Amino acid sequence: MELHTLTAHELSRKLRAREISALELTEAVLAHIERVEPAIQAYITPTPELAREQAKQAQARIDQGDPSPLLGIPVALKDNMCTEGVKTTCGSQILHNFVPPYNATVYRKLQEAGAVLVGKTNLDEFAMGSSTENSGFFTSRNPHDTERVPGGSSGGSTAAVAAHETILALGSDTGGSIRQPASFCGVVGMKPTYGRVSRYGLVAYASSLDQIGPITKDVRDCALLMNAISGEDPNDSTCVQLPVPDFTDALVDDVKGMRLGVPKEFFAQGVQPEVVTSVRSAIDKLAAAGAEVMEVSLPTAEYGLPIYYILAPAEASSNLARYDGTRYGLREGFEEGHIRMMEKTRAKGFGNEVLQRVMIGTYALSAGYYDAFYLKAQQARTLLRRDFERAFEQCDALVCPTSPTPAFKIGELADDPLAMKLADVLTIPVNLAGLPGISVPCAPVNGLPVGLQIIAKPFDEATALRVAYAWEQMQG
């Protein structure tokens, strides 16, 4: 079997047994990137020379008997995570030449674990989108059908994992941007609890919603990557000071006695019947394996989309105000004065989706509208969180579809922004409530991947991983 197709835990065993070297593995992945990247377009900035140097360093540690499970394993980072000396564009022309002077905490932790960075992946500009069609550079493609989108905004990372252009990847999830593309590309994607993983060095879109998480080929790799990136960080005040369990301990092939809730609102109108059939079949198999399945209700979930599209743009309006041509990135019209410089820089540097969301957010925060929109959305967010709390009084985890449909064709929803936003309707409530959620593949629909979403209580990623692992073992 070719090295680039194996999982991280399989490769780690081979590395420690000296069956392969870290440089040999890295060269295999880089060669595969060169072969398939023209068709997939997952990467904005490949980093082959850096990868080779890091692979040599990893091999030296392996030779000294270092048992770290990610030593020498190729990884890709979504291009909104800062990497010292390597461009970080956020998929935007306004940062087309930005090279950060520091590393994001997650990248620093991966370096300490001995992982090998093979590149920075494509995304919807500033993580605003569901297809990577909003990237300021190009659209990534779904490896299962290159005429279709990989999802978004972490579409580059999920396409890279699905196409074996990396072994592991990190994405960010603000409203479903890890789980939805994981569903579309048939890989595993996890959004941790808000505060479980440091956001230091993640270029902000919506600070109360953004969370970094793993994208992997299987659930065990997901647990290994969660082990590496989780934990407190003095550089991030929102990162909690809680002990990090060994998430691989949760990988028990047994759901007997577990109580799984099925939120009826997540199977409502808009979810494709074939997707419902696929997910219901998975739930039935979990029940047959001994899980107790019950229907639960999340009445406020139907308002998740409007709540999100007030709060997230409002936070984006504040976060993106820093891009004015003064300090870094693109600068246009400097000779015409400061105000004109800001206008020209933003007009040229931001794409239409970013401009639209910033304007919506600015409007929602403006005098006379703050109470009517932003404050009400925050109040509704509290009600939604309470709905989840009541549901978790009855069950250990919730199971439902990740996305209402499989991957759609590139350009298919270009003129239908509402349909595009509905791609995240089943993932957004999880972000609003700050909960952990994971997407794992279930039975495909018309040859296209479909995701089963498992949602757990705050800081109970272990339960979500346990259910995901048990389901994965049933799949063989």
Q: Which residues are catalytic?
A: 78, 153, 177
For every residue of 339-363, DSSP letters joined together read HHHHHHHHHHHS-HHHHHHHHHHHH
If we measure between CA atoms, which residue out of 54, 48, 3, 11 comes closest to residue 28? Answer: 3
Nearest CA among 300, 293, 306 for reference residue 265:
300
Q: How far is 256 from 240, CA to CA, in rounded Å?
A: 31
The Cβ-side half-sphere exposure at 32, using a 13 Å CA radius, reads 22
Q: Give the number of other CB atoms < 10 A from CB of residue 336.
A: 11
The neighbouring-strand residues paired with 81 are: 202
CB 263 within 8 A of CB 391: yes
Distance of CA 344 to the CA centre of its chain: 32
The number of helices, as runs of H, and strands, as runs of E, in the chain is 15, 11
CA distance 189 to 163: 15
**If 0-12 CB within 10 Å is exposed, 13-18 middle and 19+ buried, where does residue 148 land?**
buried
